[in-house]
Structure 1
Amino acid sequence: MQWAHRERPQDVVPTHWKRLSEHRFLVEGNWPEEHPFFAPVGGYHDPLLLVESMRQSTILLGHAAYDVPLDTHYLMHSLDFTCRPQHLLVGCKPDVEIEVVFDELTYRGRMLSGMRATVTVGRDGREAGTGVSRINLISARAYRRVRGAFTQQPLPRQYAPDVPAQLVGRLRSKDVLLLPTGIWGHWILKIDTGHRTLYQGPKDHVPGMVLIEAARQAAHATIGPSAFAPWTGDNTFHRYAEFSRPLLMEVTDVSLSGADWTMKVTGHQDGEAVFTSVFSAGQSRRPA
């Protein structure tokens, strides 16, 4: 669990791994039918479970195959993904095979400091999705030097769930990541460091997967009420998303071609870009 940066067994996807060549690996994993957060919708696995599988596998291999110390910080610069929904059906075997190929490796001395990971997720011999992420690795000592006082700041207060869960495609109010602004397509990120899946271990900023999920919820709220399943996503992280300041999100460039939606979600703090997510998806007729 530590190697995947998860604290609860039910949140861990990888189960085994092996090296296929110098920088190519196969990770075996498991997709539960009832994940505590990335739950299936209408008989299909959540596309973001596939994305989380990619993320965990990349982190695991950094520690296990490249001897990255466990207290090293993984900082995502980008994470792009494409899903094949016909291979995300629930009811197939829960096993997944995740092939990870690393390139563009950089080192600081003997320690790995950066990499690109190209990931392919397979189920029953079929390709369920692919992704590419770019990651920097920072030692605990260097991280303290870079972040300074931010590592010591108090945790944010808890917010009441002001946005109905159904509006953002969730079943539980505690999983809602948005606060209303009163302006269409504009939201404030709700920070709940007590969330047992999204915030595991000490954090001094909002994790990238939380930003991707918040962007997905903002997209859903914009075109709902039917379920919004992002079959493709391009996510870029420009700077740390700080706990101490409001993070404003805006949905723009919304377009519909046939049954397929495309839109951009941007996040800003103090007028500076924090992240950008561009999603393409069919608006499912399945109930949210």
Structure 2
Amino acid sequence: MSAQLSAEDVTLPAPRQSSSPFGWGWDAMPEPARGARLPGPRFVSRELVHKSAAERVLLTDGVRQTPDSFIIAAMLPRDHCLYQQDDSGWTDPMLPTEALRQAGYYIQHRFYGVPETHKFILGGVTLGIDGTAPPSPAPWLPVNLRVICTPTAKWTSRRLCMRLEVEVSVAGVVCGHGSLLSQAVDPRVYQAIRGRKAASAPHESVPFFGCPLSPGEVGRRRKEDVLLADDGNADGWLLRLDDSNTEMVDHHVDHVPGMVVLEAFRQAALAAARPPAGLRASVVGLRSEFAAFCELGTPVRITASPQRGCLAADRMLVHVVAEQDGDEVAAGTVELRLCPDASGGQDRR
């Protein structure tokens, strides 16, 4: 299936009483007639995926198959300033991870009726890419996400906790799997969780000291996208977040966005890998759990420790941790694939 879904492509659910605690949502909306075209390929409303810029929206449409399973269509840019394929054509897993994050927002707003005023808290995310994207001169890659939602706590009108399991497919071929754990809470609950930190943050950036790593060391093209700085401490790097980089920080939040932490983990894994001469590392999978909010205004240390010998000869696992004020705020692993370096090592300068 492509990023434009037809009602004939899916099995429509029988009429039912919604499991959502909200009194409006999918059940109040008419089902598409057989043969009708669902909205697409235009992108969904930016408000439904929590983006301030419409050009950063990846989702085009979606349909409910069963009460808690969905097909979400997305269009992933093949050439993106942050997310790129490597020389061998392997898809950057950070891009479908961002699509999964947007799908979590979209599904809960569109199908479960979660108000747009609710705040979302990311608890964990995993994603693994199993293959390459098919070659094409087209600037966009149509992708389908088959998503199953499972409640992780009793749902109320003030809090909706769920796990999303996703299967990523391109042109009908499954090429990845992942999951996302999140909760949507109303403003009063969020205020209780965050306290005074829920107000406008006095610092828009994370303070850091030292020299930013070179873009090639962390798999980036632009120096403004480098999130790690060397402060002379052999134990990792400091997080370097420039709030003027709207690709990293799309809109104002009172904490470091979860996707920024994941990108820092990816960069740290690549910087720590140091593959043998003639080889380069590319990310094919990641797993992260968030123990606490990563706050603005306080330095964040990112560490990465390669775990050699635990996978196949062409794979490497890197354990990554984000610490703030001596406490672990997030941790996980990044899986790397080692492949021949077509650049001759020049990209790591």
Same fold (TM over 0.5): yes
Instruction: Name the counterpart of 1:179.
Output: 229
**Judging changes above 3 Å, is the alpha-carbon distance between structure 1 residues 33 and 192 closer, same or farther for their aligned structure 2 residues?**
same
Instruction: Name the counterpart of 1:282.
Output: 337
Moved more, 275-284 or 147-156: 147-156
Instruction: Name the counterpart of 1:215.
Output: 265
Instruction: Name the counterpart of 1:154.
Output: 202
**Aligned AA (2:179):** V
Contact 2:158/2:185 (8 A) holds in 1: no
**Judging changes above 3 Å, is the alpha-carbon distance between structure 1 residues 284 and 71 closer, same or farther for their aligned structure 2 residues?**
farther
Instruction: Name the counterpart of 2:217.
Output: 167
Moved more, 188-197 or 233-242: 188-197
**Aligned AA (1:153):** A
Instruction: Name the counterpart of 2:298.
Output: 245
Moved more, 187-196 or 61-70: 187-196
- The offset of 1:44, in angstroms, is 3.3
Instruction: Name the counterpart of 2:126.
Output: 80
Instruction: Name the counterpart of 1:52.
Output: 98
Contact 2:119/2:184 (8 A) holds in 1: yes
- The offset of 1:234, in angstroms, is 1.6
- Runs of 4 or more above 6 Å deviation: 158-161
Instruction: Structure 1: state its 5+ residue gaps.
Output: none
**Judging changes above 3 Å, is the alpha-carbon distance between structure 1 residues 283 and 162 closer, same or farther for their aligned structure 2 residues?**
same
Contact 1:186/1:251 (8 A) holds in 2: yes
In structure 2, how many angstroms separate the alpha carbons of the residues matched to 1:259 and 1:184? 27
**Aligned AA (2:204):** P
- 1:222-233 aligned within 5 A: 222-224=272-274, 227-233=280-286
**Aligned AA (1:269):** Q
**Judging changes above 3 Å, is the alpha-carbon distance between structure 1 residues 214 and 24 closer, same or farther for their aligned structure 2 residues?**
same
Q: Secondary structure at the match of 1:31?
A: strand
Contact 2:256/2:294 (8 A) holds in 1: yes
Instruction: Name the counterpart of 2:183.
Output: 136
**Judging changes above 3 Å, is the alpha-carbon distance between structure 1 residues 176 and 170 closer, same or farther for their aligned structure 2 residues?**
same
Moved more, 177-186 or 14-23: 177-186
The number of residue pairs the alignment matches comes to 287
Moved more, 101-110 or 26-35: 101-110
Provide TM-score, normalisation by structure 2: 0.76
Moved more, 145-154 or 12-21: 145-154
Contact 2:158/2:186 (8 A) holds in 1: no
**Aligned AA (1:37):** L
Matched, 1:12 2:57: yes
Contact 1:165/1:173 (8 A) holds in 2: yes
**Aligned AA (1:255):** R
- Give the number of the structure whose residues are more often strand, by fraction: 1
**Judging changes above 3 Å, is the alpha-carbon distance between structure 1 residues 119 and 92 closer, same or farther for their aligned structure 2 residues?**
farther
- The offset of 1:232, in angstroms, is 2.1
Identity of aligned residues (%): 23
**Greater RCO between the two (CA within 8 Å, min separation 6)?**
1
Match of 1:205 among 246, 255, 273: 255
**Judging changes above 3 Å, is the alpha-carbon distance between structure 1 residues 252 and 69 closer, same or farther for their aligned structure 2 residues?**
same
Contact 2:212/2:227 (8 A) holds in 1: no
Instruction: Structure 2: state its 5+ residue gaps.
Output: 1-45
Contact 1:39/1:46 (8 A) holds in 2: yes
Moved more, 88-97 or 255-264: 88-97
- The offset of 1:3, in angstroms, is 0.7
